Structure 1
């Protein structure tokens, strides 16, 4: 039984409707141990016949049988397996992969076998020793002579222990000495029981084989045996072929990335700049949000919430509650709290304290002939954080806490602290029980001074009981106009607030509630929106990065067209080619993200150092989610950029790819 049998092989090329026959009814049988030379002039069909035997050409009619089993050229997977496990190629132009070393070129075939990594390396070294290249393992093809390159090609062809070796003009580019050495190697390969088929123009080369087939105009002109095959017995396969491992594709992509590092580094830098800008603006948004939250929490107890009466009677959203708070600040006389409402609030579960309070109208302070006029004097509640109080103590009975600005106005910038413990005159404008204007006049002892860099820290406060007594004595309205509620812990602030929002009196929602969280949420929404817009603007550069990677990948496909043909001839699948280029693009994206993270960290450290002296806060805060986002975005845009070039690479015709320059 023959190893390989070709029956009635026909092949034509078409230029429009014009047919040009290349092979016209080829019938051949080949056996193990033969060294067959296919001889003929250019255009006689030699290379076409070799491509059909090698499983590269699928467009023909007739049958090809391997060990009496038909090879269906319509099934791409079957052809990939055939080339991977049965065929070894040796080319006139060597077709070595330039960015790989001598050892790595041989390893390309071995990566598609069942051998372990250690076994693959050992076999590659052994084969290179056999062809006399044991001292050149780490060299690249451009550092070798023509004869040495051809020996590497022979070692690669033998690597997976194929049954058939196809040699396309194996000595065409060699001098006479190297020609004799290569022919001796091919004869030895045949003597080891493999089928060697060499395509050549040279009668001298053909004479070294055991058989010469002469092709003329696509037909067999003669089939002459020069001797018997060295071995008629098929050498059993020692190495099992298998599809390429994903790790091998990633490693090959990484090697090519490093080989063209100068070109790829520009792409990495360009992509990194876009990701860096997005990271920086996101980190700036995080820092501003944290700074605002820190400032607000330093002034207001985060467990507190402010409750107002709700004249509308409908349940108010956070935005509507904020509008009520603004109206309250402008005119607190519209929000008096009834005894029924106060009683209702006190039934709320999860609260640590419930304090009615006053926020009154305009008022004036006077001390030794100096006056300070303002508005919004109010009663002290636990809503105020201790950071508000810069000097002294919170007010008790018949005491008042004034702002630093007021103390400076009354006593001067150098001595304002000495106002603590002294009595000052206080005049408050409010409403009488008949809703007519009334003044509340009294003298109160200054117990403390508030003040901060923000206006909200400048407040004037009285003890609630004292203020209620003063209003009553002056005949003014004594109903509180807000209630300060403190939750037992931070975790149940929202649940307490929602419980109050849902409370009804006479079938109507009775309260508007504003928590510190609501305030922060609104502020953070605006800050996040601003940072998102800035990040989006910066993200435009990512579109440029995508285009840069696309162009780079297309250039890589063009530059590596022959390499693609080589890999396909060795048995790599279309998916392996796609993965090769996709992996390289993803690596560009990954290294871009890493570089972006480094420069973002350096930039944020520099900004924080420069601004810390002013605000005592790290204003740029790049968190883990930002880092993960940057990496994922970088990988995503790299993947998107690689899809079309990788698809194009995988769809290249192996025969045309091998002929590319």
Structure 2
């Protein structure tokens, strides 16, 4: 039984429904150890026959058997495996991959074998030594002569230890000396028990083999044996084949990326700028949110909930509740809170401290001959921080905390600090139990002076309580500070306070939290940063288009490479992965560059602005960086899908014929 059998092979090409027969019933047998020359003139069907034998051409009728097994040319997976494990190609035009070194051109065939990476490297070096190129392994094909390129092609064809070597005009582009050397190498391969099938139109080359098959006008018109086939070795070698591992695709993609680094760097820079802008604006949003939170928390205890009476009995948002507090000036009686309701707050789940207080809409201060009118006098409680107190301390019994502006108006801009420890006369209006106006007056000592956005005018509650009581006013509170046990429960407690009802099922209180204020502010800041990031994201779309164009260009430039890889046995899946992996690498490098740029910009901006605001205004989180990498990978992967699909669907024969 012959190793390779062809039975009644017919092949035709069609042009506008007109049939042009190329092979007209070819039947041949081949055995290992033979060096068979297919001799004939151009256009006689030699190359078409070789494509059928090599598993590249699927559109024909007839049968091909290998070692007794029928080769189904309609089964793509079987053909890929056949080319991977059984066939090696040597081309007239060498068909080396330009961006790979001599060594890598050989290793690319070994990637689809079960040899370890070290064994693959050793075998590639041995084969290059065998063809006389042991000292050229790190050169690229464009630095080799024609004869050297053909030797690399031979080493690559032998790499996976195939049983069939197909040589298409192997000496057509060589001089006489290189021709003899290449023919000698092919003869040695046949002596090792391989089947050599060489396509040639040269009688001299044909005479070098063991057998000549003459092909003319699509039929066999001669089959001459020149000498017996070589005896097969007692223990023929056979390296097992395997599917191409993903790591091999990534390596090849990386090498191509590095080979065209400067061109690809422009794509990476364009993509990186878009990702950089998104990271920076997101980090800026984080920083602004953090800065606002820091500033607001400096004004008030974040575990505090400020409680006022709900004058409507209906659900009120924060803005409505803030507006309703103006009723304290127009109608103080309507905003007073009963002791019973204060006690109900103390029993509420999650509440640790309840501090009743008084907020006065208008008041007057007098010191010596100076007077000053102010708004919003409140009792000091745990919801207020001491951060704004620049001189003195928080108010104790019979003490008041003034703002810097009030102190200056009562003294002068140079001596206002001397007011600390001095007594001032305080006057404000309140109501008695019947709701009638009551003037409240008294002398209180200045405990300290506050300055900044968090500066407040405040009295100790005991002091306010005594002054109001001595003036005949009601001591009921009109504001309450509720301190929550756990910071995480602040909003939950605020919701419980909002939902407290009286006997008529009307809401009693409205609750204001620092968190609710922050939430409102942060919503606007997040919206602004999102809009800015979205605008920056437009450049990502442009980057995606750049990657698509680059990948399409790469497919066009590497069409022959695609044909070579398919001839070596790579699947369509492997070709798709080759291009998508290169695009993903572009995305990854872009993300790395973007992160470096963003971190550098962050350091510069924070350094420049820290002296002004005492805060790092740009804060890039690990989440922002992870997001950048995810976006880069997703964009680059999607951008590569169409070009990769086009590359995988190229006809291997047409791809090999590309210029």
Same fold (TM over 0.5): yes
Residue deviations 1:612-645 (CA, integer Å, cap 9, x gap): 1101111011011101111111111111111111
Q: CA deviation at 1:442?
A: 2.2
Say which is worse superposed, 11-20 or 87-96, in terms of deviation. Answer: 11-20
Say which is worse superposed, 106-115 or 436-445, in terms of deviation. Answer: 436-445
Unaligned residue ranges in structure 1 (runs of 5+) = none
Is the 8 Å Cα contact of residues 9 and 26 (structure 2) preserved in structure 1? Answer: yes
Q: Which residue of 2 aligns with 1:646?
A: 644
Count of residues paired in the alignment: 655
Q: Which residue of 2 aligns with 1:369?
A: 369
User: Out of 463, 466, 473, which is 2:463 matched to?
Assistant: 466
Is the 8 Å Cα contact of residues 359 and 378 (structure 2) preserved in structure 1? Answer: yes
Is the 8 Å Cα contact of residues 402 and 457 (structure 2) preserved in structure 1? Answer: yes
Q: Which residue of 2 aligns with 1:413?
A: 413
Q: Which residue of 2 aligns with 1:562?
A: 560
SS at 2:360's partner residue?
coil
| d(CA) in 2 for partners of 1:219, 1:397 | 119
Q: CA deviation at 1:329?
A: 4.9
Q: CA deviation at 1:223?
A: 1.1
| d(CA) in 1 for partners of 2:403, 2:603 | 36
Q: CA deviation at 1:330?
A: 6.5
Is the 8 Å Cα contact of residues 365 and 424 (structure 2) preserved in structure 1? Answer: yes
Q: CA deviation at 1:372?
A: 2.1
**TM-align CA RMSD:** 1.6
**Matching of residue 107 in structure 1 with residue 103 in structure 2:** no
Q: Which residue of 2 aligns with 1:499?
A: 496
Is the 8 Å Cα contact of residues 313 and 508 (structure 2) preserved in structure 1? Answer: yes
Is the 8 Å Cα contact of residues 31 and 232 (structure 1) preserved in structure 2? Answer: no
| d(CA) in 2 for partners of 1:237, 1:505 | 95
Q: CA deviation at 1:276?
A: 0.6
Go from structure 1 to structure 2 and tell me whether the alpha carbon gap of 1:329 and 1:181 turns closer, same or farther (over 3 Å shift): farther
Taking the TM superposition and a 5 Å limit, the aligned residue runs for 1:9-48 are: 9-48=9-48
Q: Which residue of 1 aligns with 2:517?
A: 519
Q: Which residue of 2 aligns with 1:265?
A: 265
Say which is worse superposed, 283-292 or 464-473, in terms of deviation. Answer: 464-473
| d(CA) in 1 for partners of 2:313, 2:429 | 29
Is the 8 Å Cα contact of residues 212 and 224 (structure 1) preserved in structure 2? Answer: yes
Q: Which residue of 2 aligns with 1:429?
A: 429
Taking the TM superposition and a 5 Å limit, the aligned residue runs for 1:540-551 are: 540-551=538-549
Taking the TM superposition and a 5 Å limit, the aligned residue runs for 1:597-636 are: 597-636=595-634
Say which is worse superposed, 434-443 or 573-582, in terms of deviation. Answer: 434-443
**Matching of residue 581 in structure 1 with residue 579 in structure 2:** yes
Residue deviations 1:105-164 (CA, integer Å, cap 9, x gap): 000000100000110000000000000001111111011100000000000000000000
Residue deviations 1:301-329 (CA, integer Å, cap 9, x gap): 1111111222343455xxx1342123215
| d(CA) in 2 for partners of 1:640, 1:85 | 33
SS at 1:58's partner residue?
coil
SS at 2:444's partner residue?
strand
**Matching of residue 219 in structure 1 with residue 219 in structure 2:** yes
Is the 8 Å Cα contact of residues 327 and 335 (structure 2) preserved in structure 1? Answer: no
Taking the TM superposition and a 5 Å limit, the aligned residue runs for 1:172-183 are: 172-183=172-183
Residue deviations 1:22-71 (CA, integer Å, cap 9, x gap): 11111111100111111111111100000000000011111100011101
Is the 8 Å Cα contact of residues 103 and 125 (structure 2) preserved in structure 1? Answer: yes
Say which is worse superposed, 410-419 or 140-149, in terms of deviation. Answer: 410-419
Q: Which residue of 1 aligns with 2:136?
A: 136
Q: Which residue of 1 aligns with 2:480?
A: 483
Is the 8 Å Cα contact of residues 99 and 259 (structure 2) preserved in structure 1? Answer: yes
Residue deviations 1:270-294 (CA, integer Å, cap 9, x gap): 0000111111111111111111111
| d(CA) in 1 for partners of 2:404, 2:379 | 18
Q: CA deviation at 1:481?
A: 1.4
SS at 1:349's partner residue?
coil
Is the 8 Å Cα contact of residues 318 and 516 (structure 2) preserved in structure 1? Answer: no
| d(CA) in 1 for partners of 2:363, 2:549 | 71
